[in-house]
Structure 1
């Protein structure tokens, strides 16, 4: 079953192949949906400091009859954090909110503040190195079993790699059918950085695509299932998000293989 399968990070840590996303989930929905997902076999939950739902995700983890050691938890330091000291404050606050002594994966949420995404500034490199040092220390001190980044392009990654004692193990970026040709994925995979794909359904943008629908019908699957399986075939870890029980279950039913001809067709979209 796909929920029992893992990728291996460069430091040997096993990370479940499908994550459960909580972006844009209200605290109430985050608790309910996370608990339902964990009760139904999910083992990997993704949240962030700025989502405003870490406490609720943490409560869900506490309330399920599943050992903490069997649950992989990810959180993220805010993109706006620009000093080592503030990053350490964020990390400690996230652990407090989650009621955990460590997370399994800790990421820098973005290389620059959201208002400037796509508009690099010379100070971003210095800021990212400082924040990365905090992640390295959290990793050293056992507050995180693995560390990485999110929304980093190739130049942002090179800056960290060139100045790091511990290289990023993960880069979480937007990934969906028709949006994999930026070069960042190839760079990550060549440098043993696992790619996690958020918004794997293009925030709903691919749900009416007729070509994907035809392929889905061939396998007697849904468009979301094909989209998630497509990422897995690319060795990308998908992070589907839903607050609806039906879709939470459906998104985990990925034990099929897309034939090469169908992968080739999806690559062209």
Structure 2
């Protein structure tokens, strides 16, 4: 089962291939969600400063019966921070919020501050290198075990790879049936950079789509399980988000393979076309 499967980063560290995303779960509720997720078998969690729930995630980990060393925790820098000193402070602040001695992986959340996304062409190459320099130092200091990026295009990844001393471990991007950025994925994978798929269930948009339901019925699985299996077979780490125990269990119980022929057909599907057939 994929729930038991780990994947190895380019620095040799292993992490679970199915992780729980925590976006839009508020700080008060996420503590209970983390504890319940650990009880049903999750051992890896993804959060971010901009989610506003790091403190609750940390408390959920602390209050579990699982050893800290058995948990893989990822968080992300605030997107507004694009300088060296600000990054150093952001890392230390994150450790304080989690009340943990180290973070398993930290990502640059976006090459641009949110306020600039889709509004300017400035990719903040220098600012991202300042982020990276401070993150590399944090790795050497034992504060972070692995570092990576999120929402980075090829030019953004290239900037880090050519100018940094540590290669990004992952690039966290949106990947799901109907949205497969193959060129970017191939580029990263050729460099040994894993793809982490956020929104692998397309924010729920495609779970009732006719073709997705047809393939799910063929494999006798839920639509969510089909979509997760699709990303997993593309070699992605998946980050399904849920605060519902039944859904958490369902998302973790992916234990089948989609045929090569069906994968090829699913890869061809486009989200705009799919949403017309719901």
TM-score normalised by length of structure 2:
0.94
1:12-42 CA-partner distances (Å, limit 9, x unpaired): 0001110100011111221111111111111
CA distance, structure 1, for counterparts of residue 7 and residue 188 of structure 2: 14
Aligned position for 2:143: 143
Q: 1:123 to 1:72 in 2, by over 3 A?
A: closer
Residue 179 (structure 2) aligns with? 179
Give a deviation string over 1:165-222, Cα, whole Å, max 9, x none.
Answer: 1111111011111111351111110000010000111111111211110110111111
Identify the residue that residue 28 of structure 1 maps to in structure 2: 28
Matched position secondary structure for 1:183: helix
Task: Provide the rounded CA distance (Å) in 2 between the counterparts of 1:83 and 1:225.
Answer: 40
Cα distance in 2 between the residues matched to 1:225 and 1:137 = 39
Q: In structure 2, what is the equivalent of residue 252 of structure 1?
A: 252
Q: Is the 8 A contact 1:194 1:236 kept in 2?
A: yes
In structure 1, C-alpha distance between the alignment counterparts of 2:166 and 2:236, rounded to whole Å? 22
Count of matched residue positions in the alignment of Structure 1 and Structure 2: 269
Structure 1 match to 2:111: 111
Alignment of 1:60-75 (within 5 A): 60-75=60-75
Q: Superposition pairs for residues 1-269 of structure 1, below 5 Å? A: 1-122=1-122, 124-269=124-269
Report the alpha carbon displacement of residue 118 of structure 1 after superposing the two structures with TM. 3.4
Q: Measure, in 2, the Cα distance between the counterparts of 1:123 and 1:255.
A: 40
Q: Is the contact between residue 112 and residue 122 of structure 2 (CA under 8 Å) also seen in structure 1?
A: no
- The answer to whether the 8 A contact 1:3-1:43 is kept is no
- Alpha carbon RMSD of aligned pairs, Å? 1.1
Q: Which runs of 5+ in 2 are unaligned?
A: 270-278
Are the equivalent residues in 2 in contact too, given 1:75–1:106 (CA < 8 A)? yes
Change in Cα spacing, 1:258 to 1:82, as seen in structure 2 (3 Å) is: same
Q: 1:101 to 1:43 in 2, by over 3 A?
A: same
Report the secondary structure of 1:25's partner residue: coil
- The 8 Å contact of residues 77 and 91 in structure 2, kept in 1 or not, is answered as yes
Describe the SS at the equivalent of 1:104.
strand
Q: Give ranges in structure 1 of 5+ residues lacking alignment.
A: none
| C-alpha separation in 1, matches of 2:205 and 2:227 | 11
In 2 relative to 1, CA 123–262 (structure 1 residues): closer, same or farther, beyond 3 Å?
A: closer
Give, in whole Å, the separation in 1 of the partners of 2:243 and 2:89: 30
Q: Distance in 2 between matches of 1:118 and 1:169?
A: 25
Deviations 1:210-254 (A, max 9, x none): 111011011111111000010010001110000111101110010
